[in-house]
Chain A
Amino acid sequence: MNVNQSAPPVPPFGQPQPVYAGYHQSSYGGQPGSTAAPTPYGAYNGPVPGYQQTPPPGVSRAPASSGAPPASTAQGPCGQTAYGQFGQGDVQNGPSSGVQMQRLPGSQPFASAPLAPVVSQPAVLQPYGPPPTSAQVTAQLAGMQISGAVAPAPPASGLGYGPPTSLASASGSFPNSGLYGSYPQGQAPPLGQGHPGAQPPQRSVPPQASSFTSPASGGPRMPSMTGPLLPGQSFGGPPVSQPNHVSSPPPQALPPGTQMTGPPGPPPPMHSSQQPGYQLQQNGSFGPARGPQSNYGSPYPGAATFGSQPGPPQPLPPKRLDPDAIPSPIQVIEDDRNNRGSEPFVTGVRGQVPPLVTTNFLVKDQGNASPRYIRCTSYNIPCTSDMAKQAQVPLAAVIKPLARLPPEEASPYVVDHGESGPLRCNRCKAYMCPFMQFVEGGRRFQCCFCSCINDVPPQYFQHLDHTGKRVDAYDRPELSLGSYEFLATVDYCKNNKFPIPPAFIFMIDVSYNAVRSGLVRLLCEELKSLLDFLPREGGAEESAIRVGFVTYNKVLHFYNVKSSLAQPQMMVVSDVGDMFVPLLDGFLVNVSESRAVITSLLDQIPEMFADTRETETVFAPVIQAGMEALKAAECAGKLFLFHTSLPIAEAPGKLKNRDDRKLINTDKEKTLFQPQSGAYQTLAKECVAQGCCVDLFLFPNQYVDVATLSVVPQLTGGSVYKYACFQVENDQERFLSDLRRDVQKVVGFDAVMRVRTSTGIRAVDFFGAFYMSNTTDVELAGLDGDKTVTVEFKHDDRLNEENGALLQCALLYTSCAGQRRLRIHNLALNCCTQLADLYRNCETDTLINYMAKFAYRGVLSSPVKTVRDTLITQCAQILACYRKNCASPSSAGQLILPECMKLLPVYLNCVLKSEVLQPGAEVTTDDRAYVRQLVTSMDVAETNVFFYPRLLPLTKSPIENTTEPPAVRASEERLSNGDIYLLENGLNLFLWVGASVQQGVVQSVFGVSSFSQITSGLSVLPVLDNLLSKKVRGLIDGLRAQRSRYMKLIVVKQEDKLEMLFKHFLVEDKSLSGGASYVDFLCHMHKEIRQLLS
């Protein structure tokens, strides 16, 4: 840190420090005296605002700035200039745009390679590049660092990111965090000003002061501080207060920043308001969540700094990056859509990077598996492990073996090799594929994975043409396509018996909560019709799947629904300690044969338990029972569990409420993610052995320990759905929609997946919902079209450029109709000896998918902080390696990112500030466990939108235009209060309504006459007969259709309470829980990289 600071400093730096000092002074000084407000806040506010605003405003410390507030650029004089140059010129606009442009040219980035070296490539922050500009940027960084450095006294702050407590803040605001202490101060003031317009009034010095003071820096300092500062800036006391304010203003950050710095802008407005409801106010008033950063507390360091700095009060230094100048996900996505969405992606060429997941494109299988099945972090693999280690780019493939295809694409052909079974390599057992090399006139073939020469069986013999290809190559899917299926022979079946069709067992919690919430009645009613839509295969008239029913509370009720019965029979098993299945015949039945009895049962279940008083439930025995039932029936299958509460009844798998938020940010935090008891793992193993997949629908009213309950679904390839505080009126659509989809989706059962690779690399690690009993076979009791397995590869030898690297993923599974099959996906990758090739063929979305899964698994065993640090370090290493080896020589202060990875920092930041790695106060332990488990089997498209939500303006484009509007960046700055926006991340869907939306629009969409009449939290839009209403609803439906889970709509009004929730998803902003803003994080990354380079 220090280093950097010092380096960049050149001219500008000097200033920054001063600023800080000033800042500190103001804040501190003020605070001490003033209210008792927690120091931290003061600090926070300070920092935050400072941060955002920093860049430009900083300079214009003078009151003048205040005027500037609005436009960042416009602002500060000096600062502005500098800024302007910097931000606009190089950094922001220049680079980014340039980069994008380049990309365009060659669908495949490479072309641009050369460019890369050039400033343009590195999309980004070259800020420093040019003396002035760069300087500024650096300055910011430096400032931050400096503060840190200065901080020495206040060590914590120095660490910036590191410090657990401060973490949130730290990470969040680059500057702020680390610097908070010092940094913020400097900037803080500016921010305050930022608020400018409005806030100035508040300025009342006293309040602010008080709040800040508390912190601590000690009374003594304060005074001194004030002294100096004030003088410089005049703010003296008041300024201090600003820090708080600062935070509040955030939205307009930029301007304010500048202003702030100079003039004590801070002092002005905010103080008073802030101190009380600190964060809230900010949000409320400012809309944008930026303020959140409470972390900043650490700031004090500033004080120390302060002393020294007093003189330099000039705010100039810190500059802020123009958000428009840094790489924009939206832009990248748009560009890719425009460039690659129009033509089909043809898979014939080895090592091609496919279009982004956000682009709609068709795939033509010409020998490599479609990217819908497999995506790789890089399509060009280093030949040696040394290279790979140097680059630190994880080599991973995200595989979705049963992915659903759009109707235009053919599903894999089924190949039948007859009684002898699929043709395979004798040595490595790889399956016949297009890469196998036929030799000796076609009598033998050489395995493309292990090079073993195998005889071609007589019945498979075929002559070769002049190019050495079999003449029937195009008649045989296994010789010409990337993906296809083999019919398995009995040798591939359990116990050497062909499987019988699988079964579905519905297991319904009928305890008090489930009945009272209306769940039981709703579910039973739905099942009556849903059972007609069980998955079928091909053109089958009816599903081969049999069904069974169990209800339970602290005992289990099995039902005999044999078709010959007049009435169903209930059999109660109360011996939950030693679960067994009380009946075989009549439990699993064919739906159409037993329809009358089933209907009668589903009618009676809600009645039977209508008056139940039983509140206790069991859980493990329920799964056990389902598994035993499948075992008794000798088939695979799926359990659908509908469960409401923590299983506290006396039984195996009984759980305690061990939720403890105090563990957050401690070394014991990992226990929150770990299962409470090993019983569930053992149970899961048994389930996997039986091919029993478990889907869990949770309806908790309080803590249910998702971490433990989801163990079995997780290990059996099942899904978990969570509906907190389920109420029929509000949640029925979402639940039923998920249920329908879940029941109807095609599933493969009792599956085993193995990934084979060319000699030289080897699959070493796997992420996803499955179980592994050895190091190579991924066992999946069930696998559906949404589930993804991420596989990491490592070198165990050299690869060579000529042969490339081949992957073959073979999935053995039982289809819905009970047919045993093998699905094969092949993918050929290039190999390289130049690092630049690697960086040119990476896919950031896939990389993020891998890194998120890696990190989310890491929290099971390591403190969250360690996990975060690891991620940051790895990312920095990747980028530093590029900078060092691939980028053209340029100023050390320049941040140069590889074209393919220019979004890595912003996405990584999103991962870092996700609820798992940085929980906000409103995030429950269950939520975190739930998300953690969800992400584990997400595909690339899902992780992409999950971490970087889509924000769509609805009222910007003409009403007639019903296509999806172009997204905007997920930042409060991008919201205009005269518009309506949709935000979705695959799980949540918000409709944000600006406070100044035209009445006509309000009327059209909500059917009420004014903004104030819109019900906050509304989840259904009225069906109105006007274009706008239709368009909005159509868009919502469209978004839902794209996602595997139904997204419940939540209408959020600007400045309403719910907005807090909404702001959590504006991921480019600082988060309430302390997550860094994009800009801050980028700065931080830069700093890390520089450190690595030096």
Chain B
Amino acid sequence: MATYLEFIQQNEERDGVRFSWNVWPSSRLEATRMVVPLACLLTPLKERPDLPPVQYEPVLCSRPTCKAILNPLCQVDYRAKLWACNFCFQRNQRGAPSPLIFLYVVDTCLEDDDLQALKESLQMSLSLLPPDALVGLITFGRMVQVHELSCEGISKSYVFRGTKDLTAKQIQVSVQLVLRFLQPIHKIDMNLTDLLGELQRDPWPVPQGKRPLRSTGVALSIAVGLLEGTFPNTGARIMLFTGGPPTQGPGMVVGDELKVPIRSWHDIEKDNARFMKKATKHYEMLANRTAANGHCIDIYACALDQTGLLEMKCCPNLTGGYMVMGDSFNTSLFKQTFQRIFSKDFNGNFRMAFGATLEVKTSRELKVAGAIGPCVSLNVKGPCVSENELGVGGTSQWKICGLDPTTTLGIYFEVVNQHNAPIPQGGRGAIQFVTHYQHSSTQRRIRVTTVARNWADVQSQLKHIEAAFDQEAAAVLMARLGVFRAESEEGPDVLRWLDRQLIRLVKKKTFMFHLRRSPFLQVFNNSPDESSYYRHHFARQDLTQSLIMIQPILEDPRRSLTVLQPVLLDSSSILADRILLMDTFFQIVIYLGETIAQWRKAGYQDMPEYENFKHLLQAPLDDAQEILQARFPMPRYIHTEHGGSQVSQLVNPSQTHNNLYAWGQETGAPILTDDVSLQVFMDHLKKLAVSSAC
């Protein structure tokens, strides 16, 4: 018989589901005592090459009372594109599927080389789009320009003031007009390529000591409005490329005076971020409208300073869009990440899907408490909806406007079976996940995943339950809860909550410890934008990636050239004779210890007699490359050595404030942070766990 571990992995492979508990406590009371809620991580679109989908979307009979699905018994008139329902004899029109829409929203307040790099990336992306995809281009700076793409001779654009929000109605002067802005790529490929090529920096002069006026808020609003009326519920991506914070109009995050810096966590705590609330409200409004229309918003922000992701985060978060943060558009981080968005699966289809709704159905003993991930509630109340909310709750259906095969939601359940109504031995609880979505081929598809787990009585079968505990899943699910809370509550409160949870569950401590210190919860030394960025990704990645984020992997390839050896994630691991590879999800760091670095400088690797040293040096590079190629977004790749400036990245992904301390003493001097060290943390934890009543 397979171990629980194998069982869990098999299930994940097959269903894209991992539960915190794989045997379920059979009553509410018991479940509550388990501390870690019954929950699962669901990857709705987990790639399953073995499942050939029906090659067209399910076609429903249009009679509301019928809704039968097109089947072999129906009569089809191919020429007239009609079919007759064999149940109700309704004649149905067979509509053409609507193409995917890509709307580029491009900031032109960029340095020339940045703009050039971005233009090239955009031009490149055109070649990756399916020929019938509709594309549109909006550029913005002081003004917002919506470009007409199909014109000959004079290029035309519609210009809007960057300081004034417009209603969707004002934007869609007419549907006809909107159609001029969105054209099939195969028709305007050349035009658009030229247009992008001729794109100039924002022509309005920027006085000394000022930031360029950047109308991001209005540009986004126009993009949303443009698609709103004309293409509701059609797969559409609004891709925002910005090189700095919005500085005017609705959604402005900072004024144009350079002497006033953009808000920091400090300002926010002191309630000193004067634009934040208003801006956040603006973007939330946009995000909600976009979500309602089934479109998604990506943000690609490349700048050395913050760009306002904190305020804008809801746009990708609520719509399932991507958020990518980098230093410059002229980096491989951006270029490759961007390219990866258009990667294709083995069928040649984009690895993206649109406008999904996820419906969760449970057997009687269970109720759905909520979901955490890039989704919004559809507010569908039903018998299986729990009163208690965890994450986005109060509904059994969620909308995920944009998702890819790795998009993973945390779904939380509540056992509602009463203690006095025992479930018969061997009973199973079942959960069904129904995901409707628009495939990137524009077909509409439905994926249904049904899972079942055994019920077990805590008193009699505690062992089983314990054995079926998936500590990794649990850690990630808890982490999501923590992050979800962190978004809405004060930092210390969340930490306290997490500590309490941990104390109650002295099981897998280091995850929690690292989570506690991770940028997902700690904002110290992270800008608000960075925090938003980290949290965004944490809330959508699958379990493996999430784990890496919580507890970065530190490996020492030296011990074996073939298999990477994990080492303890602690400063004590940093020794002179080590080569270390660390993967924090967002960064990949290769560190050469002092001795190794000296060897390398001496050029041993080039000498035939030290070929193994050469391999030793090469191994982590290969390894890192592998990761770099697979991951989205592409991590920051750092290659450093003893005494290098980036060395602090190594042990402590949440850079601590004391790291100016000379680094690299042989034994690894203690890193001072404002947080407790693992050792202290563990000691306290043990003490409390013992004394604690639970």
Contacts and interface: CB of A to CB of B under 8 A. Distances in A.
Contacts of B143: 580, 582-583
B141 to A, nearest CB: 11
Nearest to A565: B198
Contacts of A568: 154
B156 A578 contact: no
Interface of A is mostly: mixed
A570 B156 CA distance: 4
B160 interface: yes
Interface string B154-170: 11111111001010001
A584 B153 contact: no
Contact of B159 (A582, A586, A601, A608): A582
Contacts of A578: 161, 164
Nearest to B203: A585
A569 interface: yes
Given A583-B203, A585-B203, A575 B157 contact: no
Q: Which of A567, A572, A573, A583 has the largest number of chain B CB atoms within 10 A? A: A572
A572 B154 contact: no
Nearest to B177: A574
A999 interface: no
A586 B154 CA distance: 14
B158 A608 contact: no
Interface string A896-936: 00000000000000000000000000000000000000000
Given A583-B203, A586-B203, A569 B157 contact: yes
Contacts of A573: 158-160
Contacts of B205: 584
A572 B156 contact: yes
A608 B173 CA distance: 19
A584 B158 contact: no
Contacts of B156: 557, 569-572
B204 interface: yes
A521 to B, nearest CB: 16
What class of interface size applies to chain B in its complex with A?
A: 10 to 19
A604 B203 contact: no
Nearest to B173: A574
A555 B156 CA distance: 13
A563 to B, nearest CB: 14
B145 interface: yes
B166 A570 contact: no
Interface in B125-161: 143, 145, 153-161
Nearest to B146: A572
Given A580-B161, A582-B143, A582-B145, A570 B155 contact: yes
A583 to B, nearest CB: 6
B164 A584 contact: no
A606 B145 CA distance: 24
A571 B154 contact: no
Contact of A570 (B157, B173, B203, B204): B157
A578 B166 CA distance: 11
Nearest to B159: A582
Interface string A852-893: 000000000000000000000000000000000000000000
Contacts of A604: 153-154
Nearest to A603: B153
Nearest to A587: B203
Q: Which of B143, B154, B157, B166 has the largest number of chain A CB atoms within 10 A? A: B154
A608 B154 contact: yes
B423 to A, nearest CB: 64
B146 to A, nearest CB: 9
A845 B317 CA distance: 80
Interface string A581-610: 011111000000000000011001001100
A575 B164 contact: yes
B158 A574 contact: yes
A567 B161 contact: no
Nearest to A571: B159
A558 interface: yes
Contacts of B204: 584-585
A575 B169 CA distance: 12
Interface string B190-207: 000000000000011100
A569 B203 contact: no
B581 to A, nearest CB: 51
Nearest to B160: A575
Given A558-B159, A582-B159, A583-B203, A601 B154 contact: yes
A572 B158 contact: yes
Given A582-B143, A582-B145, A584-B204, A570 B161 contact: no
Interface string A553-569: 00101110000000111
B193 to A, nearest CB: 15
Contacts of B154: 559, 567-570, 601, 604, 608
Contacts of A559: 154
A186 B601 CA distance: 131
A553 to B, nearest CB: 12
A584 B170 CA distance: 24
B190 to A, nearest CB: 14
Contacts of B158: 571-574
Nearest to B161: A580
A567 B194 CA distance: 12
A290 B387 CA distance: 97
A480 to B, nearest CB: 49
B154 to A, nearest CB: 5
B469 to A, nearest CB: 60
Contacts of A557: 156
A809 to B, nearest CB: 40
Contacts of A601: 154
Contacts of B173: 555, 574
A582 B204 CA distance: 10
B164 A571 contact: no
A575 B158 CA distance: 10
A584 B204 CA distance: 7
A584 B203 contact: yes
A567 B159 contact: no
A571 B145 contact: yes
A455 B157 CA distance: 63
B145 A575 contact: no
A571 B170 contact: no
A571 B159 CA distance: 6
Contacts of B157: 569-572
Interface string B323-342: 00000000000000000000
Nearest to A632: B204
Contacts of B164: 575, 578
B223 to A, nearest CB: 16
Given A569-B154, A570-B155, A580-B161, A575 B170 contact: yes
A269 B567 CA distance: 129
A573 B157 CA distance: 9
A604 B173 CA distance: 24
B633 to A, nearest CB: 34
Q: Which of A555, A558, A567, A607 has the largest number of chain B CB atoms within 10 A? A: A567
B153 A572 contact: no
B155 A569 contact: yes
A931 to B, nearest CB: 39
A1040 to B, nearest CB: 38
A195 B170 CA distance: 70
A572 B155 contact: no
Contacts of B155: 567, 569-570
Nearest to A573: B159
A567 B158 CA distance: 17
10 contacts: A558-B159, A569-B155, A570-B156, A571-B156, A571-B159, A572-B158, A572-B159, A575-B161, A575-B170, A583-B159
Given A567-B153, A571-B156, 16 more contacts: A555-B173, A557-B156, A559-B154, A568-B154, A569-B157, A570-B157, A572-B156, A572-B158, A573-B158, A574-B170, A575-B164, A578-B161, A580-B161, A601-B154, A604-B153, A607-B153
A-B residue pairs, 10 tightest by C-beta: A582-B159, A572-B158, A585-B203, A570-B156, A571-B159, A580-B161, A569-B155, A570-B154, A573-B159, A582-B143
